[in-house]
Amino acid sequence: SYYFSIEEIERIFKNAGFDVTTCEYVQRRTVNVKEGIDVPRIFVQAKFKKP
């Protein structure tokens, strides 16, 4: 697995010619009631615009 930081995602897309609209961490929970699992997860959510 590979995990991106916000700074790294922004750099990659800026180098590809995109403008950053938003880029943030989003926290979610994955719950499996049957197995009794409650897992916190953190995702990078971003929007980019081609100039």
What confidence score (pLDDT) does residue 7 get?
97
What is the C-alpha to C-alpha distance for residues 43 and 27, in angstroms, rounded to an integer?
6
What confidence score (pLDDT) does residue 26 get?
97
What confidence score (pLDDT) does residue 14 get?
97
What is the C-alpha to C-alpha distance for residues 11 and 15, in angstroms, rounded to an integer?
6
What is the C-alpha to C-alpha distance for residues 2 and 29, in angstroms, rounded to an integer?
20
Q: Do the beta carbons of residue 43 and residue 26 sit within 8 Å?
A: yes
**Domain assignments of the chain as residue spans, ordered by start:** 6-49
What confidence score (pLDDT) does residue 44 get?
96
pLDDT in tens, 3-50: 999 999 999 999 999 999 999 999 999 999 999 999 999 999 999 999
